[in-house]
């Protein structure tokens, strides 16, 4: 079964699109609930009806062990009661938890084909968190199983097949596994395995690194899946790193433990004082009533609530991609937990991944950029704009004077009125005009009212916290413009005296033949 993948909007490496599998389709990014084929706390079809869920994942090994003949006769859709896209895991979770399964790769593959699975996964050997030698062995075993599966299926396959990428925390092994799977030319979808142990131990920095490596080594035109995505606070990171679908059983696992999901954490039911949610499960019930319920009913309500948090987060991610503000959502979610903030800090120093994000982010966007602190300066739009400044001709007429105007004055006042006032003090026709005191350093005036230089909002604290780098960027522009005199314009309180003083001192220190003065308008 071949798939079609259509992308209609991009931001960072995130893709808002549609995956068509046979006669069914799903919108991406998509949350994929894990469904127990034997015991469903919330039936799969109810999840589809309540949340618009178009895809679920279930365990084919459990079906193989307990309902083999019935599943082959009725099909997996009938067994779990779901008419959308069904993805089946081959038993990798059992391999990770228990060390093995009582079925080989060929048996597993043929069984998935026989039960009508839409998306099947070869029997892999999950890496988990292990030493390098053991991690290498899991990659070798996974690749060997995949080759055996492909030989057995030949050209007669019916399902769409997902390539299981292993290697764990070892970037070179993840890269090798992804590249070798890609070279096989067999797979319709790619999927990264073994994130769960890292999530359980809040090792998000290692997880983000692993996810980025797998993404950059996988075919760009195929959907990418993340196994065991865990808590929805990770969904924005998964989407930003190019993962189109991500599954999780946490909604029901947490519910069984009496844990209530919030956007950035979970809370034990006994520690809850309020239900800060308006989903159907939370309406009309108090915390006290929830605690006093029979275990199965309480588990069902908590699972329903947890699902609502997951699907709401996916909707937020989709909206962020559509608006071009996915980086802003990353920054918001990173503040939900210190380990996530550490992961964001790793990401903004990963030049290879940031360059890939930059190449996939639209050149312009319909809304202003919101910058909050120095982390925001790593977003692709800022990186791209800074590079533009490094390559353009700054002083094509070889003028000797640069007149620097505060950026906010240019974007908030009538420019002609400003220039008229400025002409009373200096001959601007014989000077190059630039803006300064903005996150971009110094920008030639013709560019200063274009995207993104003028479509940006930020607190003044960004400029004070980034002052050394900001002034450095401005001085670099002046150095390349080869002027001999700089006139810094001050308009009322823009910029503050301390900034003008620091900039003048830096100009005198680094551009020794350049004079620096000030004019107040």
- The tokens for 17 are 């699109």
Confidence at residue 425, expressed as pLDDT on a 0 to 100 scale? 84
Confidence at residue 161, expressed as pLDDT on a 0 to 100 scale? 96
Whether residue 118 lies in the annotated active site: no
DSSP state, residue 375:
G
What distance lies between CA 198 and its chain's CA centroid? 17
Cis peptide before 452 (omega within 30 of 0): yes
Phi and psi, residue 446, nearest 5°: -60, -25
Judge contact between 176 and 149, C-beta under 8 A.
no
Q: Which helix (H) or strand (E) holds 138?
A: helix 132-153
d(CA 49, CA 45): 6
> Which listed residue (11, 89, 124, 466) is catalytic?
89
d(CA 272, CA 270): 6
Query: Please, what is the angle between helix 171-183 and helix 204-217, to 10°?
Result: 30
d(CA 294, CA 297): 6
Task: Give the pTM.
Answer: 0.92
Judge contact between 76 and 63, C-beta under 8 A.
yes
HSE value, Cβ hemisphere, 13 Å, CA-based, for 461: 6
CA angle 46, 47, 51 (to 5 degrees): 120
Q: Given the structure tokens 């639209």, which residue do they identify?
A: 362
d(CA 357, CA 362): 10
In this structure, is the dihedral angle defined by the CA atoms of residues 60, 65, 66 and 69, taken in order, positive or negative?
positive
Domains of the chain: residue spans and CATH: 3-354 (3.20.20.105), 393-520 (3.40.50)
Q: What are the residues whose beta carbons fall under 8 Å from the beta carbon of 225, sequence distance 6 or more?
A: 32, 87, 162, 189, 190, 191, 192, 243, 244, 245, 246, 247
Confidence at residue 98, expressed as pLDDT on a 0 to 100 scale? 43
How do the pLDDT tens digits run along the chain, 521 residues long? 679 999 999 999 999 999 999 999 999 999 999 999 998 999 999 999 999 999 999 999 889 888 988 999 999 999 999 999 999 998 665 544 545 567 789 999 999 999 999 999 999 999 989 999 999 999 999 999 999 999 999 888 899 999 999 999 999 999 999 999 999 999 999 999 988 889 888 999 999 999 999 999 999 999 999 999 989 999 999 999 999 999 999 999 999 999 999 999 999 999 999 999 999 999 989 999 999 999 999 999 999 999 999 999 999 999 999 999 999 999 999 999 999 999 999 999 999 999 999 999 999 888 899 999 999 999 999 999 988 888 888 878 888 999 999 988 887 767 778 888 888 888 888 899 999 999 999 999 988 888 999 889 999 899 888 889 999 999 999 999 999 999 999 988 889 999 999 999 999 999 988 899 998 88
d(CA 225, CA 229): 10
d(CA 7, CA 191): 18
d(CA 390, CA 393): 9
Confidence at residue 6, expressed as pLDDT on a 0 to 100 scale? 96
Confidence at residue 391, expressed as pLDDT on a 0 to 100 scale? 81
DSSP state, residue 257:
T
Which residues are registered as beta bridge partners of 297? Answer: none
Confidence at residue 4, expressed as pLDDT on a 0 to 100 scale? 94
Judge contact between 56 and 47, C-beta under 8 A.
yes
């Amino acid at each position: 079964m071949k798939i079609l993948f259509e992308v209609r909007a991009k931001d960072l490496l995130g893709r808002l699109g549609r995956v068509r599998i046979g006669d069914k389709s799903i919108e991406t990014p998509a949350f994929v609930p894990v469904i127990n084929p034997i015991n469903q706390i919330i039936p799969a079809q109810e999840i589809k009806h309540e949340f618009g869920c178009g895809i679920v994942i279930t365990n084919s090994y459990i079906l193989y062990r307990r309902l083999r003949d019935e599943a082959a006769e009725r099909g997996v859709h009938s067994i779990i009661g779901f008419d959308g896209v069904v993805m089946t895991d081959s038993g990798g979770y059992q391999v990770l938890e228990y060390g093995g399964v009582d079925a080989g790769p060929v048996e597993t593959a043929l069984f998935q084909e026989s039960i009508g699975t839409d998306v099947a996964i070869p029997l892999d050997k999950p890496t988990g968190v292990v030493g390098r030698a053991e991690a290498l062995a899991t990659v070798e075993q996974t690749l060997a199983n995949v080759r055996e599966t492909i030989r057995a299926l030949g050209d007669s396959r019916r399902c769409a097949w997902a390539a299981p990428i292993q290697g764990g925390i070892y970037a070179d092994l993840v890269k090798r596994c992804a590249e070798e799977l890609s070279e096989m030319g067999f797979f319709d979808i790619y999927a990264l395995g073994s994130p769960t142990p890292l999530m359980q131990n809040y090792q998000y920095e290692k997880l983000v690194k692993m996810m980025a490596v797998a993404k950059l080594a996988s075919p760009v035109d195929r959907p990418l899946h993340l196994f065991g995505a865990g808590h929805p606070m990770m969904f924005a990171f998964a989407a930003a790193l190019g993962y189109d679908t991500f599954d999780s059983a946490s909604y029901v696992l947490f519910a069984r433990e009496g844990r209530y999901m919030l956007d950035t954490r979970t809370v034990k039911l006994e520690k809850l004082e309020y239900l800060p949610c308006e989903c159907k499960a939370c309406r009309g019930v108090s915390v006290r009533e929830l605690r006093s319920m029979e275990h199965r009913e309480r588990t069902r309500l908590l699972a329903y609530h947890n699902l609502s948090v997951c699907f709401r987060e996916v909707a937020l991610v989709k909206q962020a991609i559509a608006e071009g503000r996915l980086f802003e959502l990353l920054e918001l979610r990173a503040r939900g937990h210190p380990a996530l903030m550490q992961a964001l800090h790793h990401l903004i120093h990963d030049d290879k991944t940031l360059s890939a994000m930059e190449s996939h982010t639209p050149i312009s966007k319909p809304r202003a950029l919101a910058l909050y602190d120095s982390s925001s300066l790593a977003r692709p739009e800022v990186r791209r704009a800074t590079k533009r400044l490094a390559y353009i001709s700054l002083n094509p007429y070889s003028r000797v004077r640069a007149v620097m105007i505060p950026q906010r004055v240019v974007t908030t006042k009538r420019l002609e009125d400003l220039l008229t006032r400025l002409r009373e003090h200096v001959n601007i026709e014989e000077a190059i005009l630039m803006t300064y005191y903005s996150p971009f350093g110094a920008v030639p005036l013709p560019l200063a009212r274009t995207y993104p230089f003028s479509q940006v909002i930020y607190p003044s604290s960004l400029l004070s916290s980034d002052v050394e780098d900001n002034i450095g960027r401005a001085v670099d522009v002046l150095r390349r413009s080869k002027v001999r005199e700089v006139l810094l314009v001050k308009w009322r309180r823009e910029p503050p005296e301390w900034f003008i003083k620091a900039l003048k001192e830096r100009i005198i220190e680094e551009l020794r033949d350049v004079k620096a003065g000030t004019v107040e308008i």
